[in-house]
Structure 1
Amino acid sequence: MKTDLEIKNDVLEELEWQPNIDETQIGVVVENGTVMLTGVLDNFQKKVAAENAVKKVKGVKALAGDIQVKYGTNYQKTDLEISKAIVKAFEWNTAIPEDKISIEVRDGWINLSGEVDWSYQKDAAKRVAENIVGVKWINNTITIKEAVLPADVKEKIAKAYKRSADIDANAITVEVINSLVKLSGTVHSIAEKKAAENVAYLAPGVHIVINDLDVID
């Protein structure tokens, strides 16, 4: 099992490896496998990239991000400009039913709400909004429309895990209760844990996933 110091060193090396991240702007603290990121970055995409980089590191059990986003004068946008940019980006993305999503912007903080048919549509809306200049934070409250759960949803998820090169299907147990899926077992990184959760959300009829997977070395 990795020590906190070993995890910290690996995190710092992973941040340094990312071409769009200046690791000198980010503070890293590790306690019992939980990583805390601090610092100030000049756009939201860098914050997301830093957090995603940490999730790839083996031994990281949880991430507590406290990075702030402060845009320079040349990149500051009004709430109206940010809102218009998000609307336009949604229109260009075929995975997003823009007519079903409401956008609220206050001082660069984004709230997405509404109801969509699939979880991937909710995730796509968040990913697109993350790339808009001026965005400081995103609260994704979009809900998934109630759907009839197929009887073979458990089998579909299990098969999807077996197809994935990033997931150890044999170490994960899938339990389905109505439209809720519960995952238990073990994974080797929080990136694998998140990947397992994302796959479960893609199953038809699923709109709640309880991810109880444990991260082990």
Structure 2
Amino acid sequence: MMKTDAQLQKDVMAELKWEPAVHAEQVGVEVKNGVVTLAGEVGSYTEKWNAERAAQRVHGVMALAVEMKVRLSGLGQRSDADIAESASNILGWTNSLPPQAVRVMVESGWLTLSGEVPWQYQRQDAAHAVRFLMGVTGVSNQIEIKPLASATAIKSDIEAALKRRAAADANSVAVSVHGGDVTLTGTVHSWAERDLAIESAWGSAGVRKVVDQLELSY
């Protein structure tokens, strides 16, 4: 049974209160036709990120619009040069990343990562490493993946991973590969299943981009 917008709003608000990293009273929640909009001001990019993830955990959320703004306290504000130096240092100490593979640019607290790495998990590690730095108001991950395998091999790897991880839904997800770009189509029954399919697609070496065209069917 599909949730009403009112029930969905109630559940998202409850999940935000349940998430200890979020000050739920600072986040407004609106719902229309299953699309959840988060608004308000939060004290850090980490809090904004955690609020987004909390909303996505709620069953019935069809899509998420984020209109939250990060307003740093006086103690949380740092110069762009200071943030850039801290980000470069922490990336240098992240042992999953090739040396000097990731470049950093900061503008008004917004941190942009660029460069090339062989694997998606390395892109994720880089973003995770800098996400929690004081003074950061947002993170754009523009790191690219170097193609390391043929399209046929990538497709085969992803389909095998889907069968291992989600046997019940593997046949409902179609995988197409062009170069290092992967497109997923078909139907999944929750955000968790969608995340699992996307994670499986990114798990193959050489995948540069995953296009999510999966439909949610509750």
The TM-score with structure 2 as length reference comes to: 0.91
Unaligned segments of structure 1, at least 5 residues: none
Q: Give the SS at the match of 1:213.
A: strand
Give 1:81 deviation, angstroms. 1.6
Whether 1:199 and 2:169 are equivalent positions in the alignment is no
1:95 equivalent in structure 2: 96
Q: Give the SS at the match of 1:125.
A: helix
RMSD: 1.9
Superposition pairs for residues 56-205 of structure 1, below 5 Å? Answer: 56-149=57-150, 151-164=152-165, 168-205=169-206
Indicate if the aligned counterparts of 1:175 and 1:181 stay in contact, CA closer than 8 A.
yes
1:34 equivalent in structure 2: 35
Q: Give, as a single letter, the amino acid of the residue that structure 2 aligns with 1:187.
A: V
Give 1:166 deviation, angstroms. 10
2:24 equivalent in structure 1: 23
Inter-CA distance 167–108: structure 2 relative to 1 (3 Å threshold):
farther
Separation in 2 of the partners of 1:154 and 1:88?
A: 36
Indicate if the aligned counterparts of 1:82 and 1:135 stay in contact, CA closer than 8 A.
yes
Separation in 2 of the partners of 1:206 and 1:173?
A: 16
Indicate if the aligned counterparts of 1:185 and 1:213 stay in contact, CA closer than 8 A.
yes
Separation in 2 of the partners of 1:98 and 1:34?
A: 41
Q: Give, as a single letter, the amino acid of the residue that structure 1 aligns with 2:190.
A: S
Q: Give the SS at the match of 1:129.
A: helix
The TM-score with structure 1 as length reference comes to: 0.91
2:210 equivalent in structure 1: 209
Q: Deviations over 1:53-98 (max 9, x none)?
A: 1111111111111111112112211112211211121122112235
Unaligned segments of structure 2, at least 5 residues: none
Separation in 2 of the partners of 1:166 and 1:35?
A: 30
Indicate if the aligned counterparts of 2:154 and 2:204 stay in contact, CA closer than 8 A.
yes
Separation in 2 of the partners of 1:196 and 1:25?
A: 33
Give 1:43 deviation, angstroms. 1.1
Indicate if the aligned counterparts of 2:152 and 2:177 stay in contact, CA closer than 8 A.
no
Give 1:151 deviation, angstroms. 3.3
